[in-house]
Amino acid sequence: MIQIRNIHVRAKHVLLHDMNLSLPAHRFICLVGASGSGKTLLLKRLLDRLPDGMSSSGEVISDEPLRRGLDIGYIPQQYTDAFLPFLTMRQMLRDTYRAHGRKMDHPYIDDVLRTLELDPTWLDRYPGELSGGQLQRFAILFAVTLKPRLILADELTTALDPVLTRRLLDWLTEYQHQYGATILFVTHELGPALHYGEQLVLMQDGRIVETGTPQMIEQSRHPFTMSLMQAHRTSPEERKSSCTQSYP
């Protein structure tokens, strides 16, 4: 269990307003909100990596130690920035194990490569020699290299095709069950969150609006949640009432 208590982040303005949230262990939790709602900032606060010029108060309490890199795996939204351009994937992987005094777990790495449909020969490539989709999957490999108990995945599926999106989320679910991990998946898309999430946390303008299971969110009477659900639904009749702006 991770407890977020009175987390408050500000720069010139308040960006996260007194957040209180309990993240149960071994769950697939989805953090859903529009751009600018504070989702990524909350992840960065959990990682203790707030950008310069921001101050924060409040605390993050965990039942178990959460050491960055070892217990927490982070898949950043800007995954291309996560690689050193002058090292191959294999060199970076080896350095990751060395940094934590571990031996490379070849069978595990081979298994992850296979699941993520990454060709093992690509390990000898530099980041500039791989496509965006391939780099994104390598970012996942690096995040899970040391089998962390908590995975923070920021907009993991943006720009991925539907088949790959499902494959990655299925695999994260398997990982969660196999290693008893907690997944915190940040997304602006409600569909994957309702499908994969065991608990959803909805955010707006730096505040938590509502938390609950997918069923609770689908039946919620909260105006913000209802507007998200309405925009998400497929029927044009249902959709019309969610777009109230009038055009010529």
Partner 1 sequence: MYPVLSVTDLTYQIKDQPILSNISFHVTKKASIGIIGESGSGKTTLGRLILGLLKPTHGLISLHGKAFPSGHRNERRAIQAVFQHPLASFNPEWTVRESILEPFRRHRPILRHFPATSEENLMTALALAVGLEERLFDRLPHQLSGGQIQRAAIARAISIEPDIIVMDEPTTGLDVVSRAQIIELLERLQQTLGVSLVLISHDIDFIRRLCSETLVLRDGRAVDLIDRLESGSAYTQRFVEAGTW
Binding residues (CB under 8 A) for partner 1: these are 33-36, 131, 133, 155, 158-166, 188-192, 194-195, 227-228, 230-232, 234, 236, 239-240, 242-243, 245, 247-248
Cβ proximity to partner 1: between 146 and 217 the closer is 217
Nearest-angstrom CA–CA distance, 227 and 239:
10
Closest separation in Å from C-beta 113 to partner 1: 18
Closest separation in Å from C-beta 130 to partner 1: 12
Give the amino acid at 242: S
Cβ atoms 15, 206 nearer than 8 A: yes
Closest separation in Å from C-beta 215 to partner 1: 15
Beta bridge partners, 16, equal: 9
**Phi first, then psi: what are they for 23, rounded to 5°?**
-105, 105
Cβ proximity to partner 1: between 35 and 178 the closer is 35
* Strand blocks (E) in the chain: 2-10, 14-23, 28-33, 55-62, 72-75, 150-154, 182-187, 199-204, 207-212
Instruction: Return the SS3 of 81.
Output: helix
Distances (CA, A) of 90 to 52, 69, 127, 227: 32, 17, 11, 46
Cβ proximity to partner 1: between 29 and 150 the closer is 29
Cβ proximity to partner 1: between 94 and 167 the closer is 167
Closest separation in Å from C-beta 115 to partner 1: 17
Cβ proximity to partner 1: between 55 and 215 the closer is 215
Closest separation in Å from C-beta 123 to partner 1: 20
